[in-house]
Amino acid sequence: MSREFNVPPVVFQSGQSASVPHQRRAGAAAPKFQPPRPGMIPGSNPSLPFMSFDIGAAQPSSSFSTAPVFSGGTFSSGNFEDEAPLLDELGINTRHIWRKTVSILIPFRLRANVHEDADLSGPFLYLMTFGFFQLLAGKFHFGIILGWVTISALFIYVVFNMLAGRSGNLDLYRCLSLVGYCMLPMVIFSAISLFLPRGGVVIFAMGAVFGLWSTKTCTQLLVELSSCGEENRLLIAYACWLVYMLFSLLIIF
């Protein structure tokens, strides 16, 4: 047996009671159909405007034309056109590398002032080229070349500073740069050795010539760019000759 509940009517502020859903009050006229106006949602409150998504009227965003730049602990926006080239940000100066390369290729007109700014980008390029030519000869010597150059630069650095004493001003970074740039004759010899017969007199003679070329270049740069090296030129040249003749033997054998 069902039980009846008396629900009190809901009274609004206007004083009218809520009507039962899907029923109209007596005497109420049916609402007239009104077409939706532009910018209005059909069936919604007319007082709430509809958001317009007019793509053609949208203003172009400038968020992609500028990029934040970190400077002095704060971020500031700047154009990509004002950014420095990638090589300059990495510290690679192609003009300096080219000038140093040309100065080494002409051993009788060696300009030491070009090598005052030490860098390792040029030596790394030479060493990778050296390893590539060795790879064409069937020798995988990339690790050996990088390791020997590092040990050779440390060896020449210790020998030079022992000879110069407290007045020596050669730092390890500059020594590594000079030893690496003077590897250019070894790179040329490595490329020429691909067309020479193995174990012949010609390849040994060319190895001695290119070894002396690297020795002369490295010795002159070390003496002119560092103090207290002129009186010990022969001892420095002997240390350089040991280093570059070792690379010549690596190419020959």
For 155-165, what is each residue's pLDDT tens digit?
999 999 888 87
Least confident of 44-58, 88-102, 164-178, 219-233: 44-58
For residue 130, name the pLDDT band (cuts at 50, 70, 90). very high
178: nearest Cα among 253, 91, 133, 236: 236
**41: three-class secondary structure by DSSP:** coil
253: nearest Cα among 167, 171, 144, 137: 137
- The structure's pTM equals 0.66
Token pair of 239 as six digits: 């240390």
Residue 229 has pLDDT above 50, yes or no: yes
pLDDT at position 53 is 47
Residue 27 has pLDDT above 80, yes or no: no
For residue 252, name the pLDDT band (cuts at 50, 70, 90). very high
Does residue 218 contact residue 182 with C-beta atoms inside 8 Å? yes
